[in-house]
Structure 1
Amino acid sequence: MQALAQQQLLDFLQQLKVEKRASEHTVKSYQRDLQRLVAYCEQHNVDCWADLSSTDVLKHIAERHRLGLSSTSLQRELSASRSFYLFLMKTGQVDINPALHVKAPKQARKLPKTLDVDQVSALLDADANSILELRDVAMFELFYSSGLRLSELHELNLEDIDLHDKQLKVVKGKGGRSRLLPVGTKAISALQAWLKVRSPAMDRQENAVFTSVKGKRLGQRSIQLRLKQWCRKKGVTEAVHPHMLRHSFASHLLEASQDLRSVQELLGHENISTTQIYTHLDFQHLAEVYDQAHPRAKKTSE
């Protein structure tokens, strides 16, 4: 593509970072998705953004679909393209948004996997045998206690936690939204145990709650690996990841309270439709109970 087209893309990414205050992760995601559109343009001799048509965008998405991309990934790429062209339109560099009416193929929505209450208890009600395990248990308790995302736990700072009032603040959640969350008694106890032994040799300027043996903020990948290692040690054969603990938090809370709006607020979902997937999980549980308990639902023996 022409140098001008490449510069327009860089200008858009800079605007995301500076004006929209998007996270570094979000900016990189947009850049990755739009670079794939750039590759399509170069392959099909489209030199400038104004020359890209809706047919081109449709062909691009179709090609990506044939490569096996999920509907979710295709929708994300389309969203990036629409946002980019909206920026170009606002700055007077193009007249139309060719991605506006292009839709990704629909895909059956998969229900998130969760652990039941007994499985969570077996995972978390275990003695920690080292300083690192004290830290790990505190992390896993927080995932389940407050429904944190992996990125939110990674970014958590000491000043964000109020042990006395049993609450924490997510300063910058998904979409840049902050929220105040309750912290359960078990998680408070685990946090107190960890903070007592948190590395005294660390950099005094490091204010991360969860730190490595070197006293630096623990990375997201390290958190995932520590959970995997903990599950292996406890004999859990199922592949448990941080988001599964978040899913379990939401499912168990909704099952007990039936308060969808409150669960939405706790999870930090912008739209309640995102939270509604947990009602399907709840219904599955109710259906299983019905099948097992209702006298007219039980299968008769042959």
Structure 2
Amino acid sequence: MLTGPISDFIRHLAAEKRHSPRTCDAYQRDLTRLATWLWQEGGGEWRVVSGHDVRRYVATLNREGLSGRSIARHLSSARRFYQFLLRERLVTDNPALDIRAPKSGRRLPRVTDVDQLNHLLDASPDDPLEMRDLCMFELMYSSGLRLSELAGLNLDAVDLKGGEVRVLGKGSKERVLPVGRKALKAIRCWLPVRSGLASEQEPALFVSRRGDRLSHRSIQSRLNRWGLKKGADQKLHPHMLRHSFASHMLESSGDLRAVQELLGHADIATTQVYTHLDFQHLARVYDQSHPRARRHRYDGSERKEMNTGE
């Protein structure tokens, strides 16, 4: 009784909204979990679910240890699902509409410092597959790619001459990003190896030893392996490279809008999470750059401009 509308909703997301399989899978997991809970609580139809039921479900998720952010995602899935049910005239209201998740502390992104990243990326690959791995990690850090964006890259997405890569981000939004010198060199080293693994019909830039597109899980596993083998002092994961890219770019430039564009964030508030990471650096940039804050050096000493009235 409860699972049929979920299947219809997922087909709606895939066919009409053009959501990715990963997004559809996430919605299905969230809604199946809700449906299972409702069934265990004696509910048999979506139209009889009340706001009180949704609050009880939120309390259950909270007791099970889910963070406020995860609960908010479950609520978002429920709200969107009920919007679909309203459109299909299967319910008369949206019981999740005014329910909010409990607040939790904002988890700050973990980053790797520049020196350690240089050490890891300057390490020499020991075999052809490690040449691929180094190329992936250089490109991810060079251009701030998401894991899904890296895994989805095709050969024709890279412009070696122009030093650019074209990626398909969230919401199927395309953006063109610069690629650094080290990453371009790594790509040029990988391409001859790739041609010996993949058929001419395979479009993927990064392939497995079998010649097919490398999976998300494989990329995660290879990055962790690289870190362990090359001496990282913390466990590496793909998003850490993206976080490090954002933090290091913001630290060097102080240009929040530019970093937002490079990351492909729709809302600048998402990018602002990185500003806490090096506020002291931004304060130094302000002191050195603002015309009313600049300091002058005389004979190696510093003093602020003073208006003597003369």
Same fold, TM exceeding 0.5?
yes
Which whole-Å CA distance do the structure 2 matches of 1:92 and 1:8 have between them? 12
Alpha-carbon distance change, 243 to 152 in structure 1, aligned in 2, over 3 angstroms: same
Residue 248 (1) aligns with residue 237 (2) = no
Structure 1 portions without partners, runs of 5+:
289-302
Q: Percent identity?
A: 53
Q: 1:203 offset after TM fit, Å?
A: 2.6
Correspondence for 1:300? none
Match of 1:189 among 182, 185, 191: 185
Which whole-Å CA distance do the structure 1 matches of 2:42 and 2:234 have between them? 48
On the 8 A contact 1:158/1:209 being kept in 2, the answer is yes
On the 8 A contact 2:250/2:259 being kept in 1, the answer is yes
Which whole-Å CA distance do the structure 2 matches of 1:237 and 1:62 have between them? 38
Correspondence for 1:141? 138
Q: SS where residue 240 of structure 1 aligns?
A: coil
Correspondence for 2:213? 217
Correspondence for 2:234? 238
Kindly provide the amino acid, as one letter, of the partner of residue 178 in structure 1. E
Match of 1:105 among 92, 102, 119: 102
Correspondence for 1:22? 19
Q: Please list, as runs of the form range in 1=range in 2, the aligned pairs for 1:69-148 lying within 5 A after superposition.
A: 69-148=66-145
Which whole-Å CA distance do the structure 2 matches of 1:81 and 1:138 have between them? 40
Residue 261 (1) aligns with residue 257 (2) = yes
Which whole-Å CA distance do the structure 1 matches of 2:46 and 2:111 have between them? 44
String of CA shifts for 1:50-107, please: whole Å, max 9, x gaps. 1000000000010011011111111110000000001111222212110011111101
Kindly provide the amino acid, as one letter, of the partner of residue 130 in structure 2. E
Q: SS where residue 180 of structure 1 aligns?
A: strand
Q: 1:134 offset after TM fit, Å?
A: 1.1
Q: 1:162 offset after TM fit, Å?
A: 0.6
Correspondence for 1:66? 63
Correspondence for 1:278? 274
On the 8 A contact 2:3/2:32 being kept in 1, the answer is no
String of CA shifts for 1:110-146, please: whole Å, max 9, x gaps. 1111111111111101222221111111000011000
Instruction: Tell me the C-alpha RMSD between the 2 structures.
Output: 1.7
On the 8 A contact 2:147/2:216 being kept in 1, the answer is yes
Kindly provide the amino acid, as one letter, of the partner of residue 230 in structure 2. K
Which whole-Å CA distance do the structure 2 matches of 1:201 and 1:107 have between them? 47
TM-score by length of 1: 0.91
Correspondence for 1:153? 150
Which whole-Å CA distance do the structure 2 matches of 1:201 and 1:157 have between them? 15
Match of 1:198 among 194, 197, 202: 194
Kindly provide the amino acid, as one letter, of the partner of residue 24 in structure 2. V
TM-score by length of 2: 0.88
Aligned residues: 285
Alpha-carbon distance change, 104 to 124 in structure 1, aligned in 2, over 3 angstroms: same
RCO comparison, higher one (Cα < 8 Å, 6+): 1
On the 8 A contact 2:197/2:207 being kept in 1, the answer is no
On the 8 A contact 1:199/1:213 being kept in 2, the answer is no
Structure 2 portions without partners, runs of 5+:
285-310
Match of 2:164 among 163, 167, 174: 167
